[in-house]
Amino acid sequence: MTAQTIETSAELPCHRCGYDLRAHPADGECPECRASVAESRRVAAVPRRPAWRDSDPRWRRRILAGVWILALVPLVDVLKVSGWASRVPVPNVFGFPGAVRTLDETLLCTMNVYAPVAFCIGVVLLFFKERGRRAAQFDWTRRWGVACSYVALLLSATEVLFLLSLVSTGIAALFLNMALKYQPRVTPWFVEVSAGYLRYGPQPSDGSGVALAAFSSTAVLLACIPLYDALRSSGPKNLAAILLAPLALFALRYLALAGQYCLGFVGVTSTDLFRYRIYFWPELLATTLPGAQPMPGLSVAGSPAAYVVEPTKWCIVLVIAGWLTVAQVAAWWKRKKTHAA
């Protein structure tokens, strides 16, 4: 009788609608949605937030990889301002004469391709679904965070795709100037693709830069939820909230600036928002490092507050990466000792 009283007095929400099933038999059904009481008992036994060492190993690895990739977003810009980009050789796979020879001649440096791709990969990894955990209230943010990351990547690729379409147009015009019997078979393909993109494809504009900053900031704001889950499962949750608060506040600030620009407020320009097109401003962060040299083509004219905000964001991401790395090593060491025993 005592065990039965304790079992029936414990709260048992329905796994589908949340109705209290504590007074219903194990083989019964929910009176609201007809869901099985046994299934609700099984779901209730699953931990809502397991410890880091007890959570899904694949989820842990992807969270850790995503944070480290975000920490390495300024890598190419650091190589550029330090002069190392002109010293890193790039292999000539096809052996073409006049091909790129060093890293600073590739699209990673000349068109700033690396930072948006690294940002998208890092953020998407943070939204990886965790197995063996009960459904949480904010699980719906996962799909929206991934969608915002992909939209930000597509918007950041508009400038590159536009220039590639112009180059394809030039190549198509060169082929068309040849005699018909000497024209390559790919000539119609070059004409259709380049002309089709220039006519129907997205092109870089002030609005696309503002939308890019808004979507990237939204992705980071939503990514604070899985980061908080990871940090509070491996340490104090109050410290985790304090550590993530600046990232969320900066994201809200950029969203507010985007809203002010769309409403026509004076003092907010598209250039100010385009600097934070991937939430971070890696060019400015690279110039704040010791021994950095000014590079032509880098826009680093920021306010004095920006020279504090950017290192702060990067340091927070680096601290999170170090925190989770220590937790991962501790979980691995404990598992190794358990197996040895």
State residue 288's pLDDT score: 77
Torsion angle, alpha carbons of 152, 67, 112, 291, to 10:
150
- How far apart (Å, rounded) are the C-alpha atoms in residues 16 and 92? 57
In terms of domains, do 11 and 106 share one? no
State residue 70's pLDDT score: 95
Residue of 167, 171, 176 whose CA lies nearest to 198: 167
Domain that holds residue 78: 53-340
In terms of domains, do 31 and 177 share one? no
In terms of domains, do 88 and 185 share one? yes
61 pLDDT band, cuts 50/70/90, is very high
**C-alpha dihedral sign at 317, 146, 227, 332:** negative
Q: Tell me: the pLDDT tens digits for 190-244?
A: 889 888 888 887 777 878 888 999 999 999 999 999 999 999 988 888 999 999 9
- How far apart (Å, rounded) are the C-alpha atoms in residues 32 and 29? 9
Q: How many domains does the chain have?
A: 2
In terms of domains, do 221 and 113 share one? yes
In Å, how far are 107, 202, 250, 334 from 152, measured between CA atoms?
18, 13, 17, 40
Both tokens of 11, joined, read 């709260």
State residue 6's pLDDT score: 38
Higher pLDDT, 158 or 98: 158
* Alpha carbon 320 to its chain's center: 15
Max alpha carbon distance in the chain (Å)? 97
Q: Which H or E element spans position 4?
A: helix 2-9
State residue 19's pLDDT score: 80
Q: Tell me: the pLDDT tens digits for 107-152?
A: 777 778 889 999 999 999 999 988 767 667 788 889 999 999 999 9
Both tokens of 222, joined, read 């939503």
Residue of 220, 214, 202 whose CA lies nearest to 119: 220
Higher pLDDT, 38 or 46: 38
State residue 119's pLDDT score: 94
In terms of domains, do 268 and 137 share one? yes
In terms of domains, do 12 and 127 share one? no
9 pLDDT band, cuts 50/70/90, is very low
In Å, how far are 19, 90, 151, 210 from 80, measured between CA atoms?
59, 15, 27, 26
In terms of domains, do 154 and 89 share one? yes
In terms of domains, do 63 and 32 share one? no
In terms of domains, do 146 and 282 share one? yes
In terms of domains, do 156 and 222 share one? yes
In terms of domains, do 251 and 287 share one? yes
In terms of domains, do 59 and 149 share one? yes
What pTM value is reported for the model? 0.79
Asked if pLDDT for residue 80 goes beyond 90, the answer is no
Which span out of 81-95, 143-157, 302-316 was modeled with the highest average pLDDT?
A: 143-157
